Amino acid sequence: MLPVAPLAAYLFLLCWSAIPFAPAEPVLLAGGAVAGAGGLLLPVAIGAAALGSLVSDLVKYALGRSAGPALLRRLSRYPAGARAVRWIESRMLASGAWVIAPSYFVPFGVVTATLLSGALRLPWRSVVLASAVGALVWATVFLGLGFVGTAVTGNPWFGLAIAAPAALVIGLLAKRRVARDCTCAPEAHESPCPLAA
């Protein structure tokens, strides 16, 4: 079924997830669909994607330590990026590096969280732990969606067709939850809640 050996597919999942600013969710959905058809072992695929994402987070953390403020200013030029920066900053004051885990499900969230963790010189051990948890949950959710879609339909293409809209719904629900939970800092009361828009 796969045009390549499973080992190559696992390496592809790992390497693609490790690219710091590349959207990996479509690749994970496809990988899950292939796993649902028996082409890959789901736990191995989840491990590969989570490991790649952890590597990506550590690269962004290192970038944040060396050039965090400039990168965050650049990210803030985009509306979704600016909202993510404000939300992550407010959460990081209370949660520290643990904000990285839920930020996987916020647009630009994990990019902002890891860059900001580096810029604020948060301890690398807490960043590694929070990133590992977030990466594992994220990989499980998106690979699992593809897997379940194929298991339900019996066809990886139909499975992917079901998984993609489901992933969009999860993203919208996560954004809505973040917007509802968002409380802006008192000194920024003149601005709307960053993710409410």
Tens of pLDDT, residues 17-35: 999 888 888 899 999 999 9
Name the one residue in this structure whose structure tokens are 């916020």. Answer: 106
Nearest to 183 by CA among 170, 172, 196: 196
Per-domain boundaries in the chain: 6-188
CA distances for 39 relative to 17, 148, 156, 159, 163, angstroms: 19, 14, 10, 14, 17
Tens of pLDDT, residues 112-166: 889 888 888 889 999 999 999 999 999 999 999 999 999 888 887 877 787 777 7
CA angle 115, 17, 171 (to 5 degrees): 75
- The torsion angles phi and psi of 19, rounded to 5 degrees, stand at -70, 120
Q: What is the pLDDT of the chain when averaged over all its residues? A: 81
Instruction: Determine if the pTM surpasses 0.75.
Output: yes
